[in-house]
Structure 1
């Protein structure tokens, strides 16, 4: 970056959304070693009349606007030799250039021939310049207030032509404006605090989602701070603290007394109550007794509670499993596998011993090893009582939460249960098919059908288990542990959205899910969990929810 006064150049490390030579940047930097590192975010100002390398700057600008090389060359050829270009008069010059190259008939109709300004309007570089010319405050403050959304906001600008008649002349002036930018500019001039409450204020007025300036960002904009009244300033501080606590602690709310304690250095207790009342009136927060909620987290938590309430209110779907027998079988099979491995390893060692004795005249180069015999009565495998309890809860309850430290066997226990149930289901289906194909079956088998009809509808549900995790890595590990398909929660959400966008000729991929298992439950956001639960409750056949964590 070249300093404007001294012309000295500095190497500054940071994230700069605009780096073209027609921008003047204002940034705070801290020297670390031989380099400077940007502190905070930059502000931008358009160099409307660049004197140095004038034509080169505008040539580069037109190139960034993706203007065809032919048009660009003809434009600079058309310009008077010693003329200086300015961004203020660029639109006028481009229009004059177009008119001069069009035939008389073409001038009377709308045409894209030689219309360089059309490319300026459609490009990001051109839009940024037009915004800076019309709304300089947006380029000055928006990169600081909304750094993550600044470029996308410029990219979505839609300029609408407004024609004004010049009184007494036949000429018309065409102005290009964007309604959203006009409102945003008014907010920056009069009520900048609104940008700190996007979910309930900025979204309503500007239709911008998740664009929310932090209090720290406002503190960098000294020219805006004095425009913010004390009430709104205190509300911004309080709101920022509430978001911070919810994010860091994983809360959906904070106690108002605790919140007042956290901001006691910034405001009095009276100002805290006034700010809370203001935010409540503006629907920025939700207050229930002494609890202060963020609205989006409050709604997600409500949705989760409703879905779980629906599951609990339904007639419970009992899974008929002899838990102790299943765990005994599982443990016994593990022991048998371990013993077989030990025996095979022991036999290998014995062979190695014999070979060694033959080859080395009876010298023993291996230590003696004790080999356990696999013959005789098998010792009864010990069953973990916690695993028994967990399985029994899963089988009998619609909602189960299994908590335990990593590696304690949560996923193994659940996968063992549902692998067994799937195997039983397959065996029953195979037996049913054999029965249907048996033409010589006696009529006494009809009692079997009658028995099925008399059972509760929930006992007839097909077992369709959905294993999920919050991240791709966690889902991959879950798949490795269980040998069953596992998905991320986001895959469920986007699978439904893509299905809704199609003709829906086929059923949704997860429409038959009856059991949802969520691994690493403590890492799942309430918003994502609420979305998945709502989808599976409304568009699938969810009857059981199991959360591991």
Structure 2
């Protein structure tokens, strides 16, 4: 409730459950024009909220006749008469704090309080419907031109507030639109909306709901028509779709209906993936089967080590058991694999081989599979192997460079080769990303390398760009 002062009347629907009332929807506000009880106290509080100095306020009420009843409709007239007496210029002070938006915390509330009263006097329709239709934008410091336009829309074409593309064009408000559910709360506005626009609002709301709930970027128009079949006929569906398309509210491609922002994202994703597929050369020279064999063998060795450890614990417990002298074994025998002898070669999954080969030969690879099928294992094994090779090569190169006792004849590399190598050497830079934090942690745990969520990656990139764009003199 942004407006809680005693000169406001709040209208809200509530449902009683037991002894408690539960709020239904958002409130609407009306300015109280007949404040009879505690009249002077209420208006004294209003002047205080408008940052009028206390001594000026006292002198105004001293000048005001005792039987005079103040209201917001005659307050300006009373202040003018008070000013004409040339006692104090309180009107100028009130106007200043009502119309000027001061970015100081102690003046923020007074400005909003005074401005809200002036808006309620001039545009009562806005205070009645805007808090319901656009609750998140209600407290914005609207300009007078915008208020006039908004009042005109509410009186003549309220359906426009249901489409963000229209509010952006006509009111310069970004991502600001009312939902069909909020329109249903404003019964006095519904009868002003023609059937075509009403059906368009219902259809648009269903499209947004489907895209949000299902993670889609579009919806098939036949499916969309089926979802709203209880609200309109099929003929009205096609008319509404055409209306939405003409007003650039949705984008239609063949039989698909897109939301504009999601359509743009879809196009950009397709473009960048296409560029990767057509322009990037990508080849990782590795022995895929060897990598997977090493991975499987390591896993078997770990399992055998665990089994041997469990066997040793069981033997120890047997020897120290109080029933051991009766030659009774209180522990059931458990088969334990032996680590002695030759290790059977681990069998490699053919699907994993194909997947890893695809990764090594294509700049974009999509691997799908159920949980535990080895998607993360394939990626982690491959890049862990590549990073390990690079570390070994770097370590060997460093050891060679620091080998000061080597004879001169070992130095077979000339300066030209060294400088060329420095310029042509490319480090393997891998950035691991995942949709969620748990997936990123799993990837980091398996690869032993840092992994980030997609949002963290976007933040890191933006920080890098910010650093790059800093001028040199700073």
Considering the TM-score relative to the shorter chain, is it more than 0.5?
yes
Per-residue deviation at 1:301? 0.6
Contact map agreement 2:283 2:360 (CA 8 A) in 1: yes
Per-residue deviation at 1:53? 3.3
Contact map agreement 1:253 1:291 (CA 8 A) in 2: yes
Per-residue deviation at 1:421? 1.2
Secondary structure of the corresponding residue to residue 321 of structure 2:
helix
In the superposition, relative to structure 1, how do residues 361 and 254 fare at CA in structure 2: closer, same or farther (>3 Å)?
A: closer
Per-residue deviation at 1:319? 1.1
In the superposition, relative to structure 1, how do residues 375 and 231 fare at CA in structure 2: closer, same or farther (>3 Å)?
A: same
Match of 1:292 in 2: 257
Contact map agreement 2:277 2:364 (CA 8 A) in 1: yes
Q: 1:424 aligns with which of 389, 396, 413?
A: 389
Inter-partner Cα distance in structure 1 for 2:428 and 2:230: 57
TM-score computed with the length of structure 1 as normaliser: 0.72
Q: Does 2:15 align with 1:33? A: no
Which stretch shows the higher mean deviation, 112-121 or 468-477?
A: 112-121
Match of 2:61 in 1: 79
Inter-partner Cα distance in structure 2 for 1:385 and 1:305: 30
Q: Does 2:204 align with 1:239? A: yes
Cα deviations by residue, 1:85-107 (Å, 9 ceiling, x for unpaired): 5444566778999999999xxx8
Secondary structure of the corresponding residue to residue 338 of structure 2:
coil
Contact map agreement 1:469 1:489 (CA 8 A) in 2: yes
Per-residue deviation at 1:115? 6.8
Per-residue deviation at 1:499? 4.7
Q: 1:215 aligns with which of 170, 180, 194?
A: 180
Q: Does 2:243 align with 1:278? A: yes
Cα deviations by residue, 1:269-323 (Å, 9 ceiling, x for unpaired): 3333332222222111212222222211111111001000000002431111211
Q: 1:249 aligns with which of 207, 214, 227?
A: 214
TM-score computed with the length of structure 2 as normaliser: 0.82
Cα deviations by residue, 1:113-133 (Å, 9 ceiling, x for unpaired): 997656377644444333323
Q: Which structure 1 segments of 5+ residues have no match?
A: 1-15, 159-177, 508-549
In the superposition, relative to structure 1, how do residues 335 and 201 fare at CA in structure 2: closer, same or farther (>3 Å)?
A: same
Inter-partner Cα distance in structure 2 for 1:237 and 1:256: 14
Per-residue deviation at 1:143? 1.8
Per-residue deviation at 1:256? 2.6
Inter-partner Cα distance in structure 2 for 1:445 and 1:124: 77
Inter-partner Cα distance in structure 2 for 1:506 and 1:57: 56
Contact map agreement 2:49 2:110 (CA 8 A) in 1: no
Contact map agreement 1:127 1:157 (CA 8 A) in 2: no
Cα deviations by residue, 1:34-87 (Å, 9 ceiling, x for unpaired): 22222222211122443333455456556766x49xx34662465238465544
Match of 1:465 in 2: 430
Inter-partner Cα distance in structure 1 for 2:83 and 2:442: 62
In the superposition, relative to structure 1, how do residues 368 and 267 fare at CA in structure 2: closer, same or farther (>3 Å)?
A: closer
Q: 1:340 aligns with which of 291, 305, 311?
A: 305
Match of 2:339 in 1: 374
Contact map agreement 1:27 1:43 (CA 8 A) in 2: yes
Per-residue deviation at 1:327? 1.3
Which stretch shows the higher mean deviation, 52-61 or 464-473?
A: 52-61
Q: 1:46 aligns with which of 11, 31, 34?
A: 31
Inter-partner Cα distance in structure 1 for 2:440 and 2:112: 39
Per-residue deviation at 1:218? 1.6
Match of 2:156 in 1: 190
Q: 1:150 aligns with which of 123, 129, 137?
A: 137
Question: Which runs of structure 2 are paired with 1:99-498 in the superposition (5 Å)?
Answer: 117=98, 119=107, 123-147=111-135, 149-151=136-138, 154-157=139-142, 178-198=144-164, 200-356=165-321, 364-437=329-402, 440=408, 442=410, 461-498=426-463
Contact map agreement 1:95 1:115 (CA 8 A) in 2: no
Per-residue deviation at 1:438? 5.7
Inter-partner Cα distance in structure 1 for 2:464 and 2:83: 48
Contact map agreement 1:102 1:113 (CA 8 A) in 2: no
Higher strand share: 1
Secondary structure of the corresponding residue to residue 387 of structure 2:
helix
Contact map agreement 1:101 1:114 (CA 8 A) in 2: no
Secondary structure of the corresponding residue to residue 317 of structure 1:
coil
Inter-partner Cα distance in structure 2 for 1:114 and 1:270: 55
Q: Which structure 2 segments of 5+ residues have no match?
A: 101-106
Higher helix share: 2
In the superposition, relative to structure 1, how do residues 112 and 377 fare at CA in structure 2: closer, same or farther (>3 Å)?
A: farther
Output the aligned Cα RMSD.
3.9
Contact map agreement 1:124 1:155 (CA 8 A) in 2: no
Inter-partner Cα distance in structure 1 for 2:466 and 2:453: 20
Contact map agreement 2:380 2:443 (CA 8 A) in 1: no
In the superposition, relative to structure 1, how do residues 408 and 127 fare at CA in structure 2: closer, same or farther (>3 Å)?
A: farther
In the superposition, relative to structure 1, how do residues 230 and 388 fare at CA in structure 2: closer, same or farther (>3 Å)?
A: same
Contact map agreement 1:127 1:155 (CA 8 A) in 2: no
Contact map agreement 1:308 1:399 (CA 8 A) in 2: yes
Per-residue deviation at 1:337? 1.6
Per-residue deviation at 1:208? 1.0
